[in-house]
Structure formats: C-alpha cells, structure tokens
Chains A and B, each alone.
Chain A
Amino acid sequence: MVYVALITGFVLILMGLYGALTNRNILRIIVSFTISSTGTNLVLIAVGYMSGRTAPILDEAVNVADAAARIIDPVPQALVLTAIVIGLGVTALMLTYAYKLYETKRTLDISKYTDLKW
C-alpha cells in the first residue's frame, strides 16, 4: 500500500518534470509543475504512513493513553498542508506572469522569449 503511493508519487514527479522540460507552451509548463508538486506531496504523505494505524485524531476510539501506538506520524501531514498552500500561491503567481508575458508578445510559446538568452 505504501509502495503504491510512493511509486505513484515518484512517477508523478518524473511526469511533471518531463512535461515542464519538453513543452513549449507556458500554460502546459505550469500544469506540469503542479503535477510535479502533487507527486512530492504524495511521497511525503506516504513516508509518514504506517500500516495498521489510524489518522492522528483522538476521540473515543483512539484515546490519549495508547495514541502513540495507534496513530500515524502527524508531522508530514502538517508539512504537506503547508506545501499545498504555498504551491497554490506559486501557481497563482506563475499564471499571473504568464498573462503578463502574453500581453507583451501575444504568444505563450516560451521559445519566442529570448530576452534573457545568451
């Protein structure tokens, strides 16, 4: 189960990087980056998972005394929550810059933007 999630995460990272490196359209590059960051989040969550245990929420079923033996690691989940929010901010910024770039040259083809190329 953990391995399925880990392999899916790694494959998503690779797919995203491949898309970002080979596509010419800026919007497709942005989508590739979000796929890649989803893969990273999946790997982080999978590393914190332990089979046979439950979510880190305490109630009648999981009481405080034996919590340490029954819950999974809560730290990766907190980290991934942060990563998702920051990822969303980065995506919004990328889309905004893509819009500005389109406004200057009326194209989304990244090979047409040669100003910083040497």
Chain B
Amino acid sequence: MNHILNMQVATPEIFIFSMACLILMIDLYTHDRLPLLSYWLTQATLVAGIYLGLGGMGTEPVTTFNGMFIHDGMSVVVKLAIMLFTLIGLVYSRQYILDRGMYRGEYYVLVLIAVLGMMVMTSASHFLSLYLGLELLSLSLYTLVAINRDSDTAVEAAMKYFVLGAVASGMLLYGMSLMYGVTGSLDIKTISAAIQGMQSDDVMLMLGLIFIVVGLGFKLGVVPFHMWIPDIYQGAPTSVVLFIATAPKLAAFAMVIRLLVDGFQSIAVNWSDMLVILAVLSMALGNIVAIAQANFKRMLAYSAISHMGYFLLGIISANPNGYSASLFYMIIYAFTGLAAFGLILLMSRSGFEAENISDYRGLNREHPWYAFMIALVMFSMAGLPPTVGFYAKLSVIQALVDVNMISLAVIAVLLAVIGAFYYLRIVKTMYFDAPEAERTITTGLDARVLVSLNAVMLLAVMPWIGTIMDLCMSAIQSMG
C-alpha cells in the first residue's frame, strides 16, 4: 500500500501539532487566571495521542506523504512509549516546575513539539523527514535546557548542548549528503536497494556510513560522542533531564533502526564493527567514571552512557532478535530512568535540589518507602535479578551469544559487575549511613503514587516480561 497522501496514519502527529499550537494560544490569554490549564491540556493531548496511536496497532505497514512517512509496527510501539513516558514524566515534574518559577506555557508546548519531533523521526522513511524530526526535537530540547534563563549552569549547559549538537547535526548531514552522492537518492528504501552488492572498498559509501554513525553516536551519547551528557544532566533542571533521559532515547532507537537497518542492512558487517568499538568504550568509560562521581545526576549521566553501550549490543548482533532485544532494553531503561529522576524530583523541594549522593544519607530512617523505591531502581539499573533491568541485560547479551560474539558478551558482563558498584553504593548510602539533615517531601500525591507504582513495576512486571518481549519482537517483525 503506497498512498501519495494518506493523512489517516499520521493522525497522532497531526493532532499533537494542532494541540501544541492551540495550547500556545490559549496559554497566552489564560496564564494568569488558570495557571494549570496548559498542564492539564498537555496531559489530555498526550492521553488522546496515545488513544489515537493505539488505533494504529496491528495494521499493515503503510507509506505516505510521497514516501516520506512510514507507519509500521515498530513506529506504533515506539510512539506509544514516547507519549506514555512523556506523560508520566510531566506528572513527576509538575511540582518541581511550579516551585522554580519555570512554569510557563512554553514549557509544555516545547515538550509537545519535542514529542512531535520524536514521532516524526520514528516514522521517517526519508533522510529529510528524519532530519526534520531530529531538529524539531533538538531545538526544543536546547530551549528546554535553558528554560530557567536566570540559572548560569543551565544556560551554560544549553550553550554546550547547542554547539555540540550543531557539530553532530553537521556530521550527520554530511554523511547523508555523501550517501546521496553514492546513491542519488534521499529515500531510505531507494538507498537500501541502491547499495545492494556494494562492498566495503567503496570509500564514499564507508565515509558516508562513518559520518552517519557519528551522528547517531552523538544522539545516543556513546563514547567518544558522549561529552555533552554529563554536563547537560548536571546543569539542566532535573525535570528537563528527566525528559531528555527517557523519551528521546526511544526516538534514538527508532533513528538507529531507520538508518542502519532499513537503510544499510546490506553493509551491516561494517556498521556492526563500528558499533562494537563505540559500545565497548561506552560500557567501560561510563561504568568506570561513574564510580568517581559525587553528584547523583552526573552519576546517572555516566550510567546513561554505559546503558547506551549495552543497548548497542543488541543492534550489533544485526538480526531481528537483536533489534527486538535492543528495543526491549531501551523501553526498560527509559522506564527505569523515569523512576530514577522521578524520585530525585520527589526528594527535591523549593530551594533544595537533592542531587548530591550525600543528600541521600540515611534516607531509610525517615522515608523507608522511598529509600526502598530508590533501591529498587538501583537494582534494576545494575541489572540484578529479579528486577526488569536484569531481563533487559539478559536479552541483549543473549542476542550476542546467539551470534557467537562471546568475547563481547563477556566484556559486557564484566563491565556490568563494575557498574553494580556505584548503584549499590547509593543503596548503602541510604541504608547504612547516618542522616544529615531533615527532609520533607512536598510533592503532590499524584506524583508520589505514580512514582511508587513506577518503581514497584520494575519488580512486579516480572510475570509479564514475556509479553513485553513478544510485543517488541512483533514490533520489529512488522517493520515495512
């Protein structure tokens, strides 16, 4: 099925775009009288978006907009996850945003536009639409990082993000232009067909591939294109970090799949080799440097770098099994990250950012429940059974073992052991160190309940792990 113009499959995107414009207008007139209106409207938009997205489940792959846009099983699952995680993240951050005077209509509009960008990326079947989505996301994120314009660290972080992002975008574009030079097309399907039979001795092709991999590496934040991550995580407002650390990771997964799998599956040997280097470096550097961090958010930044390394393991295996394992890993990681930053937000209050590891000393004595929640998150991040994090790591490593990349699997496991140290240190800090200051939790009940549910799910979804894995598998298998 190839329609020139089939609006129907893009309903969620169109809806979210319209609502973003509408909320921008409404907020202009109601901001003083009904301050929470744009929050509720945004949440309602996301709920409706999820509803619309669910309607696209289980349909055949469809391309539309002259082959710019593809609707398939993978895009549906990833978009649903993006919207759901954004929605949850906004619940966690409402209080934080209010407390810090960042509450403006723009915040939510930017989030919606970023969501739109991610959705466009996910459904891109053309270099131009992919780049459009990417920039829509990136520009919104640059602005969001700097939304607290009076904060020096935030502005500095935004500046760095913008400059480095521009460099990375340049490289990606350069790679795309080289690919255009090789194949004469920007359409991913056409490119894929054109490079069939080409070998790695084609310098132009390889050069283009390297530039594209570098662009992807920056978006994922893998070593050595990771430098922005620690500074952004530490400098940006926690609510924004929560957003950056969750939904865009899924969009990045989609981007990897669209470019490498849809586009360059025939030269998988080559990009797989490149990703091996990036993955090993990320797992090693992320896990090792995280040990030396005293700032919780910065530690989570390095943890994110190492997780992206693990995520790549599934892609490296270069078969549908591996892609599905990577999708599963990404969903689990984003979900765990949601709980992690949600809990940091929960612990923070007006005038106090709970971002140093020392802020969590003896948390168990005052708030045993939240200490337990954080412990669960840490266990899941470290990949300890029976939390979902374990199954995530297991599935990507299993994918490696299936293609006989045993030594890489061993390295991954060894580095995970090193990584377990700093996660467990948080648990030790909460349970065995003496508390320093009084802590009060000011966050609303909705966020408390939801974050508790979020963390408990890391353990409680265990019986349904198989279902989630099957969902990922069918998403990958139904790709157009």
Do A and B actually bind? no
